[in-house]
Structure 1
Amino acid sequence: MSPILHISNLHAYYGKSHILHGVDLHIDKGEIVSLLGRNGAGRSTLVKAAMGQVQATGSVLFQGGELIGLKAFQIAHKGLGYVPENRDIFPTLTVEQNLLLGQKKRDTAGRWSLADMYALFPRLQERRTVAAGFLSGGEQQMLTLCRSLMGDPDLIMIDEPTEGLAPKIVALVAQYLLALREKGVSVLLVEQKLAIALEISQRVYVMGHGMIKFEGTPAQLRADAAVRKEWLEV
């Protein structure tokens, strides 16, 4: 079975700065893969390059089709979801309006409904008529995650979803990611918290200096103290 996402020899640039240096990475259908590394390693640049948001060369195959050269909205319509680190919500719209904006117009119903979102995060249902700008950071993160799901992606790339969140909310995010996998949605999780990544992932990649430095299972990373010390520990 071919991977749902297959990145090969990916180079990415911000102006004259060369950020990614020949990255290879793949994700299979229904798989949670974590992308680990210190700040500045190139993890966010990788997902932005896959999403058509930075200048890139190489190949990004999604469900067999090449994404390099496409615009972000064209990539999203192909079924690739992206949750950026900055919790990009519409602050003056209500929770429910934000969710409905994420919905993809289709003749057939998607995998996810408003009811599903509220079942995942009951707090959003309680706050559904509240303007999103008045939500807490944790509630805004829940909203961003759910709005992306309303577009019915086949794979979702999530950049630092647990950053700055309380442990209780981090646990909710982990449950959310496992719920995606149960519905056959693949996940690329960009994360700094080693615990959540190792707990829910089938495979992990470690990045450093814009290159992949390790690929393996969570058990293999746990056993490799040298990789953790060199590329992950502060």
Structure 2
Amino acid sequence: MLEIKNLHAFYGKGHILHGVDLQIGKGEIVSLLGRNGVGRSTLVKAVMGQVNATGSVLFKGEEVLGLKAFQIAHKGLAYVPENRDIFPTLTVEQNLILGQKKTGVAGRWSLDDMYNMFPRLLERRTVAAGFLSGGEQQMLTLCRSLMGDPDLIMIDEPTEGLAPKIVALVAEYLLALKEKGISVLLVEQKLAIALEISQRVYVMGHGAIVFEGTPQELRADAGVRKEWLEV
């Protein structure tokens, strides 16, 4: 589904990513782990055309590196940023409708699906998004991305600052995506959720991949966890 090869990324003269290779299959949840500042967010931004990058990013067999972000999104690749980027003056329902790839064209997900997944959004559907709590805004951002009917969704730190109950809801949401055949790249610091729901994990350090394997293999590798993940 997504194949990243020899990806280098830059902020001005700053060289952030150093030859990253990463693959995600159809219907697979893959987690990208690592401490703050190692380049995880830069990687997803580079894939979405938001950062200067070289190398190759193949999505469904097609090279997308060099395309604009909206062109990449229209091909079925969604990105949920850490800062959520909701439209604060629009209602919850208006935010969701804006997420549709083509207005009036039915995708795999409907407004009712979103409200069934997160009933709190149904309760708040007429409320301006700027008045939502952090957890509610995270639910809204995730669901708005789904309304675009993506084949793969990249989610940056979805559980940051959320209560444990909401974190559990996010985990259920991601597993529901997998059941629908949607691939997920989860950028996360919380080891527990990543190891619980992922089929494979990558660990990043200093702008490069330092570990690739299954959750079971990472659990068994105390050296990698101590060197690259534990604070």
**Shorter-chain TM-score tier:** over 0.9
Aligned-partner residue type, residue 20 of structure 1: L
**Structure 1 residue aligned with 2:228:** 231
Quote the Cα distance in structure 2 between the aligned partners of 1:107 and 1:10: 37
In the alignment, which of 155, 159, 174 is matched to residue 152 of structure 2? Answer: 155
**Who is 2:170 aligned against?**
173
Query: Alignment partner of 1:176: what SS?
Result: helix
Which residue of the partner structure matches residue 51 of structure 1?
48
Identify the match of residue 82 of structure 2 among 85, 88, 98.
85
1:45-69 Cα offsets, whole Å, 9 max, x none, are 0000000000000000000110111
Q: Where does the alignment leave 5 or more consecutive residues of structure 2 unmatched?
A: none
State the alpha-carbon separation in 2 of the partners of residues 149 and 57 from structure 1.
28
Structure 1 counterpart of 2:34, from 19, 32, 37: 37
Is it true that 1:15 corresponds to 2:18 in the alignment? no
Q: Which digits, 9 at most, give the CA deviation of each residue in 1:53-102, with x for residues without a partner?
A: 00000000000110111000000000000000001100000000000000
TM-score by structure 1 length?
A: 0.98
State which of 194, 206, 218 in structure 2 corresponds to 1:221.
Answer: 218
Deviating above 6 A after TM superposition, structure 1's stretches of 4 or more consecutive aligned residues are: none
Other structure's SS at 1:228 match: helix
3-state DSSP of counterpart to 2:181: coil
One-letter code aligned to 1:48? K
C-alpha displacement at 1:109, in angstroms? 1.6
Count of matched residue positions in the alignment of Structure 1 and Structure 2: 231
Corresponding residue to 2:123 among 126, 133, 136: 126
The answer to whether structure 1 residue 138 and structure 2 residue 135 are counterparts is yes
Query: How does the TM-score come out when normalised to structure 2?
Result: 0.99
Match of 2:201 in 1: 204
1:105 aligns with 2:102: yes
Shift of the alpha carbon at 1:106?
6.6
5+ unaligned residues in a row in structure 1: which ranges? none
CA distance in 1, matches of 2:22, 2:56: 11
Structure 1 counterpart SS, 2:31: strand
Q: What are the superposed Cα offsets for residues 154-183 of structure 1, whole Å, 9 maximum, x if unpaired?
A: 000000000000000000000000000000
Query: 2:149 is aligned with what amino acid?
Result: D
* Percent identity over paired residues: 87
Find the aligned partners of 2:161 and 2:109 in 1 and give their Cα distance.
27
Of 51-60 and 108-117, deviating more is 108-117
Note the aligned Cα RMSD (angstroms): 0.8
